């Protein structure tokens, strides 16, 4: 007589056999370059051109493979000689934003990263509001976050900037470097460990490509100068992952002129932890921080403990995230109705 345990064992064997049949013809690789529907994967130290399966575009929320992703490809190439990417391994971290323009889609810039280096140059690019945007998004990624101030030769006395950034962002490691004079480079290199995956993010013209070439030990990335308005020219046109001299994996990204939030309230709470701690001290849970008695935010503003600018930035980011979430919810509900 067959026992319940025997039946369960038979079912498990059937499921396991089906699983092995489905996936025994798969390769596991890592995306090292992304061109939308086409990606380049490193599979057993060999670069393989792959195409993203059409099933990715039938999802409720489209999430395509991006640089740094671990993916599974079939072993049978398509008619163009490309392997097909069918699924993505769960990410340990991701740097993402709302896609530029009016669309609501999320864009994952890089995945499975250990450290995000936010680059800003010590010229007119230095903008604390933009820096806090980068910090907020980065802190929601699951990766470590550090700041790199480039072109220190333009501002030899940058210590006040470092202290301001540390106090405003809560970032412990702020590096001041110049590739031209080699100032600060050894300290920065000591923060990049072999086999780690790092990503450089920042605007065009901050020196991402120059720094990338220095860490690679050869000129792989083209370098653009500055326009008359001190803004950079786009030289990196797509995201790619490269191996540095030290053995780390470096993801270089195009300059970002638009940094818009998705639902990244966890990063907001971490980037503005001083404000969230004050909010917890308000007498009322639904305090609007306007005229309510016992408002810890108003008390901190009046005493100078909290700056008006910092609270305004926090409030602005919070409204942007709420607006995105509201529009995304309406879009998903509309899509569901259209499918019925």
- pLDDT tens column, 199-244: 999 988 888 889 999 999 876 655 544 444 444 444 445 678 999 9
DSSP of 185-196: HHHHHHTS-TT-
Query: What does the pLDDT read at residue 1?
Result: 47
Q: What is the pLDDT of residue 19?
A: 47
Query: What average pLDDT is seen over the chain?
Result: 83
Predicted confidence at residue 59, as pLDDT, reads: 73
Q: What are the residue boundaries of the structural domains of the chain, listed by start? A: 4-88, 110-252, 272-333
pTM: predicted TM-score of the whole model, two decimal places: 0.82
Whether 4-88 and 272-333 share one fold: the answer is: no
Residue 75: its pLDDT value, please?
66
Give the highest mean pLDDT range of 8-17, 43-52, 59-68, 151-160.
43-52
Fold of 110-252: Rossmann fold (3.40.50)
Cα distances from 158 to residues 77, 164, 166, 185, 202, in angstroms, run: 54, 10, 13, 15, 19
Considering the segment(s) 272-333 as one domain, its CATH architecture is Orthogonal Bundle (1.10)
Pairing of strands 83-88, 46-52: parallel
234 vs 26, more confident: 26
Stretch 92-100: mean pLDDT: 87
Residue-wise pLDDT for 291-303, tens only, equals: 899 999 999 999 9
Provide the phi-psi class of 40: left if phi over 0, else alpha when psi is between -120 and 50, else beta. Answer: beta
Tens of pLDDT, residue by residue over 124-140, are 778 889 999 999 999 99
Q: What is the dihedral of CA 330, 334, 336, 338, to 10 degrees?
A: 180
Q: Which residues contact 241 (CB under 8 A, 6 or more apart)?
A: 30, 31, 32, 33, 67, 68, 197, 249, 250, 251
| CA pair distance 146, 261, nearest whole angstrom | 19
Residues 129, 106: Cα–Cα separation, whole Å? 22
When pLDDT is cut at 50, 70 and 90, the band that residue 331 belongs to is: confident
Between residues 79 and 137, the one the model is more confident about: 137
d(Cα 171, Cα 144) in Å, to the nearest integer? Answer: 10
Do the strands 197-201 and 115-121 form a parallel or antiparallel pair, or are they unpaired? Answer: parallel
Task: Convert the pLDDT of each residue in 241-259 to its tens digit.
Answer: 999 989 999 998 887 777 8
Q: Report the share of the chain in percent with pLDDT over 70.
A: 81
Q: How confident is the model at residue 314 (pLDDT cuts 50, 70, 90)?
A: very high
CA dihedral in degrees (317, 320, 326, 327; nearest 10)? -150
Judge whether residue 11 has pLDDT over 60: no
CATH of domain 4-88: 2.40.50.140
* Residues present in the chain in total: 340
- Strands 240-243 and 38-43, bridge-based pairing: unpaired
Give the lowest-confidence range in 108-122, 168-182, 259-273, 278-292.
259-273
Comparison of pLDDT for 328 and 228, the residue scoring more: 328
């Amino acid at each position: 007589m067959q026992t319940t345990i025997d039946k369960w064992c038979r079912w498990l064997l059937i499921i396991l056999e089906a699983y092995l049949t489905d996936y025994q013809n798969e390769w596991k690789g890592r995306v090292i370059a992304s061109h939308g529907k086409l990606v380049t994967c490193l599979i057993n130290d060999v670069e393989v051109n792959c195409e993203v399966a059409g099933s990715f575009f039938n999802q409720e929320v489209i999430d395509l493979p991006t640089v740094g992703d671990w993916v599974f490809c079939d072993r049978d190439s398509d008619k163009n000689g490309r392997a097909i990417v069918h699924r993505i391994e769960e990410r340990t971290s991701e740097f993402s934003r709302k896609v530029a323009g009016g669309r609501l889609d999320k864009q994952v810039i890089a995945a499975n990263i250990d450290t995000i280096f936010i680059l800003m140059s010590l010229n007119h690019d230095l903008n604390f509001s933009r820096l806090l945007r980068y910090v907020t998004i980065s802190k929601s990624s699951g990766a470590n976050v550090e700041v790199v101030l480039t072109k220190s030769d333009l501002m030899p006395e940058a210590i006040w900037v470092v202290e301001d950034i540390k106090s405003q962002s809560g970032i412990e490691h702020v590096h001041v470097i110049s590739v031209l004079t080699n100032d600060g480079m050894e300290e920065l290199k000591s923060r990049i460990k072999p086999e780690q995956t790092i990503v450089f993010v920042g605007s065009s013209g901050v020196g991402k490509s120059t720094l990338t070439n220095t860490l690679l030990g050869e000129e792989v990335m083209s370098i653009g100068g500055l326009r008359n308005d001190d803004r950079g020219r786009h030289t990196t046109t797509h995201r790619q992952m490269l191996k540095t001299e030290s053995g780390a994996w470096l993801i270089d990204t195009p300059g970002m002129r638009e940094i818009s939030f998705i639902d990244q309230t966890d990063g907001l709470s971490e980037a503005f932890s001083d404000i969230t701690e004050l909010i917890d001290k308000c007498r009322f849970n639904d305090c609007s921080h306007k005229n309510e008695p016992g408002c810890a935010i108003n008390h901190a503003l009046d005493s100078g403990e909290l700056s008006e600018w910092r609270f305004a930035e926090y409030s602005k980011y919070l409204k942007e995230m709420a607006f995105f979430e509201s529009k995304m919810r309406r879009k998903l509900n509309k899509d569901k109705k259209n499918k019925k």
